[in-house]
Amino acid sequence: MCSLVRQFDHRGCPMPDTDPRPSPNDGFQAIPIDSAGGQQRELILQSSQRSPCCNRDLRNQPQANAVGAAALIFLSGGLHIAWSIGFDTLFAELEVNNHLRICWFLAAIFGALLGGFFSQKYSYKLLMQFCSLLVLIGGVVMAAIKLNLNALLAARYLNGFANGLAIAPTLAMAGELSVFYKRGTTTSAAEQWPVNIGIFVQIVCSASWDTEGDFTEEQFQGAISAVLGVLALVMSTLLSIESPVDLLEQGDEQAAIEALSRLQRPRAVTAETYDQVSDHRTYLAHHRSLSWRKACPAFFRLAALRAMNAMSCSMLVAYTLIITSNMVYRDNSGPYVLFGFLRLMGSFSCAFALDSLGRKIPLLLGLVICGGLSFGLASRFAGAKLLRFGDMRMALWLLLIFQLFAGIGFAPSSAYLSEAFPRRFKRQCIALAYVLEMIVQVMILQVDLSATAVGSDCVEMFFFTMGSLLLASFLGSVWFMPETKDTTLLQAQFRFQEFVIPPS
C-alpha cells in the first residue's frame, strides 16, 4: 500500500503544491484524516497489487522515457553495425577497405572506455545531449556527401564514439531509475531492442535498395541517423532524469525524492517513494566497502556472454547468410529480411518477458538451442569440397532459426549488466564487457575469406567453435548465473558475488 500526505490550511483549503494531484481514475483514493494540533490532512492511497498491468506500465512509463534518448542512439548504432558486417550496397560504387569496416567498432571501444571511467564527472542529461549531437552531425555528414570515403569514415567514427560513450552510463542508470519489477524490461528494451531494430532496418535497405538511383543507401542511412539524433537531443533535454542514487550519494536527499517522484505518473511523493529512498540509501552504504574482487565473478560471466552476442551477429554470420541465400533463392531478398526480422522478434518478445518469466530461463533456452543449431549448421559445411543445394537450404534455415533464439538468449544480458556489479565499479565493468564485444567484432572482420574457394572452411570452423562456446556457456549458466527478477539492486548484486550460485 502506497501513501502520500496532502496538507490543508486552517480554512480547510488545499495548500499549493507543484505536483498534480492524482485522480481516482489513476487508482488513487483520498481519505480524510486528523493530525496533531487539529490540522486537517488527506491520505492518498494506491494499491499496486490491485492495479491492472496496463495501469502499472503507464505509471512507470517515465522510467523508460528517461533512457529513450539513449535507445535512439543505439538504434542508429544498429544501422552501422549491420553495415560493418556486410549488409551494404557500397561494393557497387567504391572499394570498401578494412579500416572503413572496423572504424565504427574502434570508435565505440574508445567511447566506452571514456564513458565507463569518466562519465560520472558529468550529468547524464549532458552526456546524452552530447552523444545525440554527435549522432546528428555524423548523420548530416553521411547524408550530405555522396560516395566519399573520408566523409564516411568521419561519420562512422562520430556515431561509434557516441554509442560507446552512452552504453555504460545508460545501463547503469536504467537499473537505478527503474522499479524492481520493471528493471529487466526497461534495460533490455533500452539497449538490445533498439540495436536489433537498427540491424533489421539496415538489412531491409541493403536487400531492397536500387543501386541505380542518385540517392545512395549510405546517404539514406545518414538521413535516418540525423533524424534520430534530433529526436534524441529533444528527448534528452526534456525527459532525462538524474539517478536518485547519484543524488543521494551527493547528499541531496530532496533532489533524490524529486527525481523519484518524476519517475512515476502521476507525479507524486508516496510512501513507495520513501521506501525507494531507504533502499537506495542501504544500497549505497553497503557498496562503499566493496572491492574489485566482488565484481570479478560477474564480470567474467557477462563479458563471455557479450562476446558470444557479438559472434552471433558478425561478418561470418552475414557471409554465411549471403552464400546460402544466393545458392538457394538467387536474387530473392526474402531470407535477408527474415534474418533481421527473426532476430528482432526474439529480442522483442524476450525483453517484455524478463520481469515475468525471468532472466535465466530465456538465457538458458537461447544458449542451448543456438549451440545445437551451430553444430548442425557447421556440419553442412564439414568436409564438403562442393557445396550441395540440399545442404545449403538446410544451413540457411538453421541460420534463420538460430537468429530467433539468439535474440531470445542475449536479451537478458542488458538486465544482468545493469544489476550485477558493485556500484563503485559498475560503469567500468559494463564498459569493459562492451569493449570485449567490440574487439570480437573487429577480430572476426580480420578473417580473410579469399583464402579458400568459397570460405566454407572458415564457416565450418567458426560455427563449430561458436557452438562449443554456447553449449559450454549453457552448462556454466546453470550453476553460475542467478535469477534476479523481482529483486532490488542490492539483492541482485548479492547473488552475483560468488562464482557458484547457491540453491534457492
Mean pLDDT of 332-336: 90
Task: Report the predicted TM-score, pTM, of the whole model to 2 decimal places.
Answer: 0.87
* Lowest mean pLDDT segment, chosen from 128-142, 286-300, 335-349, 474-488: 286-300
pLDDT(25) > 80: no
For residue range 466-479, what is the model confidence (pLDDT) as tens digits?
999 999 999 999 98
C-alpha closest to that of 15 among 33, 40, 45, 34? 40
pLDDT the model gives residue 346? 95
Alpha-carbon distances, residue 481 vs 157, 212, 234 (angstroms):
35, 51, 38
* pLDDT (mean) for 132-136: 97
Grade residue 5 by pLDDT with cuts at 50, 70 and 90: very low
H or E element: which one contains 115? Answer: helix 98-118
Coil vs helix vs strand at 68: helix
Q: How does residue 31 score in pLDDT terms, banded at 50, 70 and 90?
A: very low
Q: Which domains does the chain have, with CATH numbers?
A: 2-51 (no CATH), 63-241+292-496 (1.20.1250.20)
Please compute the mean of the pLDDT values over residues 410-426 and round it to a whole number: 93
Give mean pLDDT, residues 356-376: 95
Q: How many CB atoms lie within 10 A of CB 184?
A: 32
Give the model's pLDDT for residue 345: 96
Report the pLDDT value the prediction gives residue 284, as an integer from 0 to 100. 87
- In this structure, are strands 2-7 and 40-46 parallel, antiparallel, or unpaired? antiparallel
pLDDT given at position 208: 84
Q: Label residue 274 by pLDDT band (50, 70, 90).
A: confident
**Residue 157: HSE in the Cβ half-sphere, 13 Å Cα cutoff:** 8
CA-CA-CA-CA torsion for 479, 484, 486, 489, nearest 10 degrees?
140
pLDDT score, position 415: 95
Q: C-alpha grid cell for residue 257?
A: 525524492
pLDDT of residue 52: 54
For 383-405, what is the mean pLDDT? 87
Strand partners, 2: 46
In terms of Cβ atoms closer than 10 Å to its own Cβ (0-12, 13-18, 19+), residue 99 is: exposed
- Mean of pLDDT values over 418-440: 94
Give the residue-averaged pLDDT of 407-431: 94
Kindly report the backbone phi and psi dihedral angles of residue 44, in degrees, each rounded to the nearest multiple of 5, phi listed first.
-95, 115
**Strand order through the sheet with 28-34:** 2-7, 40-46, 28-34
pLDDT level of residue 399 (50, 70, 90 thresholds):
very high
What pLDDT score does 54 carry?
A: 63
Residues sharing a CB contact under 8 Å with residue 465, sequence separation 6 or more, in sequence order? none
| pLDDT tens for each residue of 178-225 | 988 999 999 999 999 999 999 999 999 988 887 777 788 889 999 999
d(CA 383, CA 268): 66
Query: What percent of the chain clears pLDDT 70, i.e. is strictly above it?
Result: 85
User: How much helix, strand and coil, in percent to the nearest 5, is found in the chain?
Assistant: 70, 5, 25
pLDDT digits (tens, 9 = 90+) for 144-188: 988 888 999 999 999 999 999 999 999 999 999 998 899 999 999
Residue 13 has pLDDT above 50, yes or no: no
% of the chain beyond a pLDDT of 90: 54
Checking if the pLDDT of 406 tops 90, the result is yes
Higher pLDDT, 53 or 392: 392
**Rounded to 5 degrees, what are φ and ψ at 30?**
-95, 130
Give the mean pLDDT of the chain: 85
Using the Cα atoms of residue 442, residue 446, residue 450 and residue 456 in order, give the sign of their dihedral.
negative
CB-based contact 286:249 (threshold 8 Å): no
